[in-house]
Amino acid sequence: MTARLSRRQFVFTVGGSFAACSIGGCAQAPTAAALVDRIKRQVGIPWNDTTYRDTFKVGRPDTAVRGVASTFMTSYDVVRKAHAAGLNFIVTHAPTFWSDGDVVADLQGDALYDVKRRFVEANGMVIWRFHDHWHARKPDGIIVGWNRALGWDHFVAPDNDRLYVIPETTLGAVAAHVARVLRTRSVRMVGDPAMRVRRVARGAHTLVGNMAAMPSADALLVSEAREWDSIEYARDTVASGQAKGIVLISHEAGEEAGMDECARWLRAFITDVPVHFISTTDVLWTPGA
Amino acid sequence: MPATLTADQIGERIRARVAPAWDPAAGDGLQVGGAETIVTGIVTAWTPSIDILRAAVAARANLIVSRECPFWSREAEVKGYSGAGRTATRADMTKDATFAFKQQYIDEHRLVLWRLSSNWDARVAAHPVAALARALGWEAFAREPAGRYAVEATTIGALADTIRRRFSARGLRVLGAPGAPISTIALARGLLLVADVQKILRAGDVDLFVAGEPVEWEAYPYIADLVTAGRAKGMILLGHAVSEEPELAEAATWLETLVPEVPVRHLPAGEPFA
C-alpha cells in the first residue's frame, strides 16, 4: 500500500503522525478537510453545501491523512480493513451508520454504534461520504465504473446513457454475465430466463425510476429495489404480456465498481498519500444455486 | 336464496372485528372497484398481482383482500425507511402500460381490491410471526419474547437448505458462513428496519436473523456489522412475499368464519423470482 517514493522522498512516523519529507524539509501530511477541499475543486460541478449526504460522518476533519480508502460502504469490515492497510481517511459512497442521513440521534445507547464509532476514533480515522456529487458529475462516476466492470462501455446507447444495446442474448445469460463480472452470488431474476434481450436499461431503487426505464428496454438491470413495488411491478409487466424482465442485484454489486473508479480519479490529484479501493464485497449467497 | 353481500358490507364486518379498533388512517380498506359490488367470492393474497386477479376470476371470486397495494406503491403511508425517494403519483401511473392493462382488467371483471395490512398487524401484534413460524414448523421452538426461536443445533447452510425446500423458494439470500453453528433465531417478516433489529437485541443476542426484506443501506449492513463484530452469525432473507404469505392463508381462515355466506380461499402469490 505504500506510495511510490522518489529517492529523495520518504515517509516516516513520529508519534503516530506522518509527514512526507524531502531534502528541502518535511511537508505536513494533508488533513482530511484539505483533501475534501481538493475533491470539491476537482469534481467539476458546483458544490452543493446543503447536502446532508456528502459530509464528514465520524472522526476529525483535521486528522492528518496517512492514506485514503475509497469504498462503496463503510461497513465495519471495510473500516477494519482500511485500518489494517494503514488508510485512515475513508471516502464512502453509502452511509456508515445505517440510514441515508447517518442519523445518529436514534443510535444513542446502541452497542454496535459505540463499537464502530470508537474503532474509528481510537484509530485516528475519519469517514467522509461522497454520494450526490459523484453521481452528479458528468458523466456519473458510478456509471463510469459500472460500464467498465460490465464491459459494456461500447454498448451505451448514443441518446441514453442509462441504456445498453448489447448483442442479442437471453435474460438468463445477462444474469449470468452480471454475476460473473460483478462477482455476486445473489442475483435474482423476474421474467422468462429464455427471453431474448437486446436493450438493457439501468434501473433504479425506486418504482418511479423503474417505471420510467421500462418502456425503453427489454430488461432492467436493477441494483436493489423494494420487492413490494418495483419487483411486483415487473412481475405484473410480464404477466400483462410484455416481453420484459428484471435482473436484480445487491446494492454493492451494482455500485461498488463506481468507487473503484473513484479511487482512480482521486489518484490523479492526491499524489502525496496512497489511495486504494477497498471492496465492500457482496457476501450474500443463494442456497441451491 | 343466494347471499347478496356487498363489498362494503363485508368491509364493515372486517373493520368491526379485525382489531380492537379500526385505524382508518393506515391505508387499509377499499383500493379499487365499487363498494356496492355484490361479492361472489373472496380471495386473500399477499399482493393482488395480475396472476392473482386471473386466478380469482377463474375461481369466480371478485373481492380480493391483500396485504400489498394494487398498483405496487404504498401511497397512503410513510415508507418507514430513509432515502426512499419520490412516491409514484397518478401521473406516473396513467402513462404506464402495465398500469393501464391492470386497471382495464380490474374494470372489465368488476373486481374489488381491498387492502388489509396495518389493521391486520394490530390484530396479531402480540405474536406477529406466529403464522410464519407455523409454516416453518417451529411452534415447539418458540421462546420469549415473541419472535425468538431456539431450534435444534444446526448450521446456517443446513437451515437455509431446509427453508428453501420447505417453501420451494428460489430467491432466498443468505449472509454468513454456511458451516456456522446456530441455535437461537430471531424471526421477522416483511420489511425489516434497524429499529426492529435493535428491539430484538434488547432481549439478548441471537445467532441468526431470519427475515423478509431489509433495506440494503439500513438493516442489512447493520446485521452485517453485527456479524463482523462477532455478535451474530448471519441472516437468512426469505424475501418479502415468502415471509408474509402464511398470514394471508390465516386471514382466509378468519374470513371464512366472519363471512360464512361467501366462499373464501387463499391464493398463494408465490415469490416473484424466476
- Give the distance from residue A67's alpha carbon to the nearest chain B alpha carbon, in angstroms: 23
Contact A270, A34 (CB under 8 A): no
pLDDT greater than 70 at residue B54: yes
Residues A63 and A36 placed together within one structural domain of the fold? yes
pLDDT greater than 90 at residue A289: no
Judged by a CB distance cut-off of 8 A, whether residue A264 touches chain B is: no
- At B268, is the pLDDT very low, low, confident or very high (cuts 50, 70, 90)? very high
Contact A137, A145 (CB under 8 A): no
A241 CA to centre of own chain: 36
A19 in a structural domain: yes
Residues A99 and A215 placed together within one structural domain of the fold? no
Per-chain mean pLDDT for chain B: 95
Residues A133 and A260 placed together within one structural domain of the fold? yes
Percent of chain A with pLDDT over 90: 87
Helix (H, G, I), strand (E, B) or coil at B170: coil
Verify whether the Cβ–Cβ distance B86 to A208 is below 8 Å.
yes
Full domain range(s) for residue A84: 10-137+256-278
Residues A18 and A119 placed together within one structural domain of the fold? yes
pLDDT greater than 90 at residue B75: no
pLDDT at B83: 86
Judged by a CB distance cut-off of 8 A, whether residue A116 touches chain B is: yes
Residues A98 and A160 placed together within one structural domain of the fold? no
DSSP A4-68: P--TT-EEEEETTEEEEEETTEEEEPPBHHHHHHHHHHHSSS---TT-SSSSEEES-TTPBPS-E
Verify whether the Cβ–Cβ distance B101 to A240 is below 8 Å.
yes
Beta-bridge mates of residue A70: A91, A277
A143 in a structural domain: no
pLDDT greater than 90 at residue A84: yes
Judged by a CB distance cut-off of 8 A, whether residue A190 touches chain B is: yes
A284 in a structural domain: no
Long-range contacts: B129-132, Cβ < 8 Å, 24+? Answer: B129/B187, B129/B188, B129/B189, B131/B246, B131/B247, B131/B249, B131/B250, B132/B187, B132/B189, B132/B243, B132/B244, B132/B246, B132/B247
Domain boundaries, chain B: 7-123, 130-242
- At A9, is the pLDDT very low, low, confident or very high (cuts 50, 70, 90)? very low
Average pLDDT for residues A10-21, to the nearest whole number?
A: 43
pLDDT tens per residue, range B12-47: 999 999 999 999 988 999 999 999 999 999 999 999
pLDDT at B106: 98
- Give the distance from residue B2's alpha carbon to the nearest chain A alpha carbon, in angstroms: 34
Residues A108 and A202 placed together within one structural domain of the fold? no
As a whole number of angstroms, the distance between CA A280 and CA A271 comes to 24
A45 in a structural domain: yes
Is B186 exposed, middle or buried (CB count within 10 Å of its CB: 0-12, 13-18, 19+)? Answer: buried
Taking contacts as CB-CB distances below 8 angstroms, the residues of chain B near A283 are 175, 224
- At A20, is the pLDDT very low, low, confident or very high (cuts 50, 70, 90)? low
Contact A283, A75 (CB under 8 A): no
pLDDT tens per residue, range A274-284: 999 999 988 99
Residues A36 and A177 placed together within one structural domain of the fold? no
Verify whether the Cβ–Cβ distance B97 to A206 is below 8 Å.
no
Contact A77, A279 (CB under 8 A): no
Residues A40 and A124 placed together within one structural domain of the fold? yes
Which of B49, B240, B241 lies closest to A236 in CB terms? B49
Domain B7-123 and domain B130-242 have a common topology: yes
A115-150: b (≥16 Cβ within 10 Å) or e: bbbebbeeebbbbbbbbebbebbeebbbbbbbbbbb
pLDDT at B87: 86
pLDDT tens per residue, range A152-210: 999 999 999 899 999 999 999 999 999 999 999 999 999 999 999 999 999 999 999 99
The model carries a pTM of: 0.93
Beta-bridge mates of residue B141: none
- At B78, is the pLDDT very low, low, confident or very high (cuts 50, 70, 90)? low
Residues A110 and A246 placed together within one structural domain of the fold? no
pLDDT greater than 70 at residue A8: no
As a whole number of angstroms, the distance between CA B204 and CA B196 comes to 13
**What angle in degrees, to the nearest 10, is found between the helix axes of B219-228 and A76-84?**
50
What CATH class is the domain B7-123? Answer: alpha beta
CATH numeric code, B130-242: 3.40.1390.30
Per-chain mean pLDDT for chain A: 91
Residue of A159, A115, A162 whose CA lies nearest to A135? A162
Domain total in chain A: 2
pLDDT at B86: 86
Average pLDDT for residues A252-276, to the nearest whole number?
A: 97
- At A1, is the pLDDT very low, low, confident or very high (cuts 50, 70, 90)? very low
Residues A189 and A164 placed together within one structural domain of the fold? yes
pLDDT greater than 90 at residue A10: no
Verify whether the Cβ–Cβ distance A101 to B82 is below 8 Å.
yes
HSE (CB half, 13 Å, CA atoms) of A164?
A: 23
**Conformational region of residue B96, where left means phi above 0, alpha means psi within -120 to 50, and beta covers everything else:** beta
Residues A232 and A268 placed together within one structural domain of the fold? no
The complex's ipTM? 0.97
Is A163 exposed, middle or buried (CB count within 10 Å of its CB: 0-12, 13-18, 19+)? Answer: middle
The Cα-based distances of B105 to A82, B102, B109, B200 in angstroms read 55, 5, 6, 43
Average pLDDT for residues B144-151, to the nearest whole number?
A: 97
Residues A231 and A269 placed together within one structural domain of the fold? no
Residues 134-173 of A with CB under 8 A from B: none
List the CATH number of the domain containing A61: 3.40.1390.30
- Give the distance from residue A265's alpha carbon to the nearest chain B alpha carbon, in angstroms: 24
